[in-house]
A and B are shown apart, each in its own frame.
Chain A
Amino acid sequence: MTKNPSNNDSILVRSIGMDARKEAVFRMAFKMFTRRHYQLLDAGDTQASAVTIIDVDGAEGMTIAHRLHSEQPEQRILLTSVSPQPDSMFPVLQKPVRMETLFPALESLLNGGPVTGKPAGRSGATVMPIRPEVTIPALSTPVAPSPTAANPPVPKPVAAPAATRRPAPLLRSEEIRHFNPQAGLLGLLQIIRRDQSSAIIVNDRQQVILRLDPMADQAILLVDDEHLKSLAREEHPRLQMRAPNDTDVPAPAATRHLTLQSLLWQMGAWTANGRLSQQLQINAPVQLKQWPNLTRLTMLPDALRLAAFLARSPASPALTVKMLRVEPYDLFNFLAAADSLGLLRYNTAENPDNRIQPAAPDAPTVAEIPAAKRSFLGRLLTRISGL
């Protein structure tokens, strides 16, 4: 009778009928399982195994299993197959093998008991789920292990105060200022983006400010950011747009290169300067057609949250401020930046193609997030952002 391995022993497992890649899966699964140490033997290893896992979907199929059983009747055998035979004399795991069924099956074999969940997987058999060991401690009462000589006391974590949401910023409609995104330097850039033609922008002294190539998504800047920002905030800057010629960027001029997308994004935010675009209404819904490419754009405050919220479903600026508790200043800048890239949907008579789109009727419902999970996500967010 094969001795039952104790929890401290390495449990040697042999595989038959598997190629290297399948064995790699089992090796990984064994590494991830921390309650016991399973070890998959190499092909030439002559150590005695506690369990043999046989993939019976190969050419020899069940013949291998029967032959092993007749030669080594005491050997514990576990089969894997895409199509388990219901009358198999050996326990079978249906492919794809899942950790949730693999380890209970192994444990049962090692303990000499019947294997539950035979065959497992999508058949719906009940098995004990196996998960990596994780617990979520209560917010206000962190648990510390009892100190011993072998387990010296660890610094007690400071009990986190109950999470308090920041108050919703006040938003008084009479205090909202508006701007015209079709005017000024931003307006010129929008025309260039729309027309997809190369152009330059010059000031009233015919000095080139910007050279733009929308087809290549390229912008050459001949002024610094402060100058651009001040131009962005002028309602009627004395600027002109025209087709470029070869002398428009004389070398060795100090130039900077950006993508046109990133220039438009930044100009949208600078131009807004905390004001709401007059294309939008404070209580009318807006929606993102797609996320801005935020890893390659200036990261505006709360941009990730705002994008997640407005991509999920339409919401008015007023509701967005209330739900996300973002500063109206930051929201209005984000909306202006997104709109400058053509990423916003909102209902206007002038542009019926840009109307808000309803959600698909069979779209999965977004469930309410329980408070514990929200707290967990918040902690994970803090951890990630601190990396």
Chain B
Amino acid sequence: MREDNKIIFTGPVGVGKTTAISALSDIPIISTDAQASDMTLNRKGHTTVAMDYGVLKLDVNTKIHLYGTPGQERFDFMWDILTTGGLGLILMLDNTRPNPKKDLHFFLHAFKDFIVDVPVVIGVSKTDVQTQPQIADYASMLPEVTADLRMLNPIPPIFEVDGRNKEDVKNLVMALLYCIDPGIGDQL
């Protein structure tokens, strides 16, 4: 039984983690919701206060487990339950939030022990609503944000994504897989 059959999606509230997992999952995602009695409800009408769970089936015996972390930062105590093993981390950032650099810093540091051993890919959503910062700006932020981190892939992919767009989500995951091994996919 493999320990690394999971991919973790993380990022702030409303960024599109649940939607992204839904684009990949072969089952209706399991999403435990509880009413969030705080300002989070102002950001979106319905917020996930627990983890999302989906499954991607390779065959009868093999599944990839897709976990979405709770979006609110105060739930970071829950994230540790997920970070044993795993293929990699997909960090989704919301370009409309007031301080994306702070978000980038927060989430990479929250998973700092995880990303020593597995790659991270970064998807930036809502760039159609808010064009700044641009992708190049996120890349420029990275050296400062990650100065005290050890990362398996210190130059991670940073893509514009729309969680509702299956092709964008597929490309994020494929980039993650190639970060593990660029040599895959060269079979006949």
Distance of B105 from chain A, by nearest CB (Å)? 18
Distance of B73 from chain A, by nearest CB (Å)? 12
Check: B184 CB closer than 8 A to any chain A CB.
yes
Residues of B within 8 A of A311 (CB): 153, 155, 157
Distance of B176 from chain A, by nearest CB (Å)? 9
Whether A295 lies near B171 (C-beta < 8 A) is yes
Q: What is the bound-complex CA distance between A137 and B186, given in angstroms?
A: 21
Known contacts A134-B5, A137-B59, A304-B178; A364 and B183 CB within 8 A of each other:
no
Check: A191 CB closer than 8 A to any chain B CB.
no
Whether A20 lies near B182 (C-beta < 8 A) is no
Distance of A162 from chain B, by nearest CB (Å)? 10
Q: Which of A29, A157, A307, A308 has the most CB of B within 10 A?
A: A308
Distance of A319 from chain B, by nearest CB (Å)? 12
Whether A380 lies near B50 (C-beta < 8 A) is no
Query: How many B residues face the partner with a CB closer than 8 A?
Result: 73
Check: A246 CB closer than 8 A to any chain B CB.
no
Residues of B within 8 A of A25 (CB): 50-51, 78, 81
For chain B, residues 153 to 188, give those with C-beta under 8 angstroms from any C-beta of chain A: 153-161, 166-168, 170-175, 177-188
A387's contact among B50, B77, B152, B166, by CB below 8 Å, is which? B166
Check: B104 CB closer than 8 A to any chain A CB.
no
Whether B59 lies near A157 (C-beta < 8 A) is yes
Known contacts A137-B62, A362-B150; A29 and B81 CB within 8 A of each other:
yes
B49's contact among A24, A31, A157, A309, by CB below 8 Å, is which? A24
A95's contact among B23, B77, B85, B180, by CB below 8 Å, is which? B77
Whether B185 lies near A165 (C-beta < 8 A) is no
Residues of A within 8 A of B166 (CB): 387
Whether A99 lies near B184 (C-beta < 8 A) is no
The stretch of A71-79, A201-209, A236-244, A284-292 in contact with B is: A284-292
A135's contact among B62, B158, B178, by CB below 8 Å, is which? B62
Check: A44 CB closer than 8 A to any chain B CB.
no
Residue of A nearest to B56 (CB): A383
Residues of B within 8 A of A363 (CB): 150-151, 154
B178's contact among A28, A293, A308, A387, by CB below 8 Å, is which? A308
Whether A381 lies near B81 (C-beta < 8 A) is no
Residue of B nearest to A20 (CB): B34
Residues of A within 8 A of B34 (CB): 20-21, 23-24
Check: A324 CB closer than 8 A to any chain B CB.
yes
Residues of A within 8 A of B156 (CB): 291
Check: A43 CB closer than 8 A to any chain B CB.
no
Check: A133 CB closer than 8 A to any chain B CB.
yes
B58's contact among A20, A29, A97, A383, by CB below 8 Å, is which? A383
Known contacts A32-B53, A97-B81, A381-B185; A135 and B157 CB within 8 A of each other:
no
Whether B184 lies near A378 (C-beta < 8 A) is yes
A134's contact among B53, B62, B161, B184, by CB below 8 Å, is which? B62
For chain A, residues 128 to 177, give those with C-beta under 8 angstroms from any C-beta of chain B: 129, 131-137, 142-143, 154, 157, 163-166
Check: B129 CB closer than 8 A to any chain A CB.
no
Check: A258 CB closer than 8 A to any chain B CB.
no
Check: A66 CB closer than 8 A to any chain B CB.
no
Check: B144 CB closer than 8 A to any chain A CB.
no
Known contacts A131-B1, A163-B187; A294 and B171 CB within 8 A of each other:
yes
Whether A96 lies near B182 (C-beta < 8 A) is no
Check: B134 CB closer than 8 A to any chain A CB.
yes
For chain A, residues 8 to 26, give those with C-beta under 8 angstroms from any C-beta of chain B: 20-21, 23-25
Per-residue CB contact flags for chain B residues 111-141 toward chain A (1 = under 8 Å, else 0) read 0000011000000000000000011100100
Whether B51 lies near A28 (C-beta < 8 A) is yes
Distance of A42 from chain B, by nearest CB (Å)? 12
Residues of A within 8 A of B58 (CB): 379-380, 383
For chain A, residues 283 to 324, give those with C-beta under 8 angstroms from any C-beta of chain B: 288-291, 293-296, 299, 304-309, 311-312, 323-324
Check: A385 CB closer than 8 A to any chain B CB.
yes
Whether B49 lies near A20 (C-beta < 8 A) is yes
B32's contact among A24, A157, A164, A385, by CB below 8 Å, is which? A24
Distance of A360 from chain B, by nearest CB (Å)? 7
Where the two chains meet, the residues of A that have a C-beta atom closer than 8 Å to any C-beta of B are 20-21, 23-25, 27-29, 31-32, 95-100, 129, 131-137, 142-143, 154, 157, 163-166, 217, 288-291, 293-296, 299, 304-309, 311-312, 323-326, 360, 362-364, 366, 369, 374, 376-381, 383-385, 387
> Which 3 pairs of residues, A with B, have the shortest CB-CB distance?
A308-B178, A24-B50, A309-B182
Task: Report 25 cross-chain contacts, Cβ distance below 8 Å, ordered by A residue.
Answer: A21-B75, A28-B50, A31-B53, A97-B81, A131-B2, A143-B61, A164-B187, A165-B187, A217-B134, A290-B142, A291-B139, A291-B159, A294-B159, A294-B175, A295-B167, A305-B182, A308-B178, A323-B182, A323-B183, A363-B151, A377-B180, A379-B58, A383-B56, A384-B56, A385-B174
Given contacts A295-B171, A324-B186, A387-B23, 13 further A-B contacts (CB under 8 A): A24-B50, A31-B32, A95-B77, A99-B81, A134-B62, A136-B61, A166-B187, A304-B171, A362-B150, A378-B184, A379-B59, A381-B184, A385-B170
